[in-house]
């Protein structure tokens, strides 16, 4: 309790223990070189629950484009984009880059401008030097931040526009019985979900 | 943790009520409360911890030589913005901890980066013992209330200011308004 380290707050997503080669051979499971990722490719496991890690002894220079949640605990220089996903900069992470992500959690250091569509969370002992454009921001005491904060307002469907648009069909709550909806209905639903969230 | 009613803050907030989208400078470091308050008004906030930058440029050693290259580096790192960039500045008590050699250049820089008619809120300690002023962060709770949160430790104020000193310090600004307070923290609203 008393000697609590900075890293203690940072809990990376649990990585599955890779099976040994003999176990795989016994079970007839194909081998994978992707560490920290489940080999089970069932629908529940894929999608948003997937996460990639850049370890603390890794240095990357260039452009990173991620379509899954990403944790950087090493050094990255360049640009990082995870538009639909969450980016976590671990306590050992040092990112010198422009970043775009849905959500960013910072335990380490970022030098560069940051843009999120949802939220940025700057934790205690984190350091961020650069401009932030985000919908929501959390700054813990002890974090260091230098730069501009620009809060972007979420797009809300205007009543006039909604009235002019054709009435959407009622949406049932049972996923199995949901009928394919028009693009406009999908947009409105996303808008109202945002409203509830805020 | 201590809260205080602030007429200086009230006047500052009145000056930034509208329109939305103003740029506000905060020199005492980012904190959730102030960021939330300013952004909820629809404004942008630029945060920096000027005293931390001062320490990073000069170190904590009092014997540092305040030579022109170091001064230029400090001003470049902390107050390098285009002219007439900000619509208001929350300076809090930072000016009192700047060494005399840097103080006037920093105030001149503030004059340059603030828009005409914009306001700046500054606080000055009037304690007897300026060698050990408790270090704290200032957080806006609402348009009339400031929360003082101790940061731990003390800071040595560079100098004591009376009204005449302050008028001289801000002589290039349009006006300087002092607010009477019951404690040892003097509130000043300076209009560009």
Q: Which residue of A has its CA nearest to B31?
A: A139
The answer to whether the CB atoms of B46 and A151 lie below 8 A apart is no
Q: Nearest-CA residue of chain A relative to B21?
A: A150
DSSP letters, A129-144, are: ES-EEESEEEE-TT-E
The pLDDT, as a whole number, for residue B179 is 86
Q: Write out chain B residues lying below 8 Å of A124, CB-based.
A: none
A39 touches B: beta carbon within 8 Å: no
B44, B52, B149 ranked by CB distance to A148: nearest: B44
Query: Does A144 reach chain B within 8 Å, measured CB to CB?
Result: yes
Checking ipTM against 0.95, whether it exceeds it is no
Phi and psi, residue A188, nearest 5°: -60, -40
Low-confidence ranges of chain A (pLDDT < 70): 1-49, 154-198
Residues B91-134: tens digit of each pLDDT: 999 998 888 888 999 999 999 999 999 999 999 988 767 777 87
* Surface-to-core class of residue B138, CB atoms within 10 Å of its CB (0-12 exposed, 13-18 middle, 19+ buried): buried
For B110-120, the pLDDT digits (tens) are: 999 999 999 99
Q: What pLDDT does B71 receive?
A: 80
Q: In Å, how far are B16, B78, B112, B115, B182 from B81, measured between CA atoms?
A: 20, 9, 9, 12, 36
* Distance of residue B167 Cα from the nearest chain A Cα, in angstroms: 30
Provide the number of CB pairs (under 8 Å) joining chain A to chain B. Answer: 40
Cross-chain residue pair A149–B46, CB shorter than 8 Å: yes
- Residue B149: pLDDT band with limits 50, 70, 90: confident
Query: Three-class SS of residue A177?
Result: helix
Q: 3-class SS at A164?
A: helix
Whether the per-residue pLDDT at B138 is higher than 70: the answer is: yes
**Interface with chain B: mutation pick from A130, A136, A145, A146, highest number of B CBs within 10 Å:** A146
For B45, the closest of A138, A143, A149 (CB atoms) is: A149
Q: What is the DSSP letter of B37?
A: H
- Give the residue with greater pLDDT, B64 vs A63: A63
């Amino acid at each position: 309790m008393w000697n609590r380290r900075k890293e203690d707050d940072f809990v990376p997503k649990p990585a599955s223990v890779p099976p040994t080669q003999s176990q795989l051979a016994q079970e007839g499971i194909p081998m994978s070189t992707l560490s920290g990722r489940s080999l089970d490719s069932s629908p529940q496991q894929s999608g948003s629950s997937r996460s990639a890690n850049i370890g603390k002894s890794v240095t990357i220079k260039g452009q990173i484009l991620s379509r899954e949640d990403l944790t950087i605990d090493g050094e990255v220089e360049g640009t990082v984009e995870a538009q639909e996903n969450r980016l976590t900069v671990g306590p050992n992470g040092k990112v010198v880059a422009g970043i775009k992500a849905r959500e960013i959690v910072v335990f380490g250091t970022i030098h560069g401008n940051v843009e999120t569509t949802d939220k940025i969370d700057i934790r205690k002992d984190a350091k961020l030097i650069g401009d932030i454009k985000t919908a929501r921001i959390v700054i813990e005491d002890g974090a260091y931040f230098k730069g501009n904060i620009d809060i972007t307002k979420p797009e809300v469907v205007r009543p006039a526009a909604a009235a002019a648009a054709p009435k959407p069909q009622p949406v049932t709550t049972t996923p199995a019985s949901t009928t394919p909806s028009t693009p406009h209905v999908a947009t409105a639903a996303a808008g109202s979900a945002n409203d509830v969230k805020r | 943790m201590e809260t205080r009613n602030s007429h200086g803050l009230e006047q500052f907030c009145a000056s930034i009520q509208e329109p939305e989208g103003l740029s506000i400078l905060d020199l005492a470091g980012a904190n959730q409360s102030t960021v939330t308050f300013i952004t909820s008004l629809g404004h942008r906030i630029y945060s920096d911890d000027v005293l931390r930058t001062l320490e990073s440029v000069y170190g904590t050693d009092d014997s540092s030589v305040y030579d022109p290259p170091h001064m230029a580096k400090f001003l470049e790192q902390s107050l390098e913005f285009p002219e007439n960039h900000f619509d208001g500045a929350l300076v809090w008590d930072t000016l009192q901890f700047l060494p005399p050699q840097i103080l006037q250049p920093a105030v001149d820089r503030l004059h340059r980066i603030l828009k005409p008619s914009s306001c700046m809120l500054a606080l000055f300690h009037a304690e007897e013992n300026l060698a050990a002023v408790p270090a704290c962060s200032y957080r806006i709770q609402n348009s009339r209330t400031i929360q003082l949160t101790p940061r731990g430790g003390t800071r040595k104020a560079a100098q004591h200011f009376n009204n005449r000193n302050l008028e001289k310090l801000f002589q290039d600004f349009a006006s300087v308004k002092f607010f009477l307070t019951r404690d040892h923290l003097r509130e000043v609203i300076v209009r560009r």
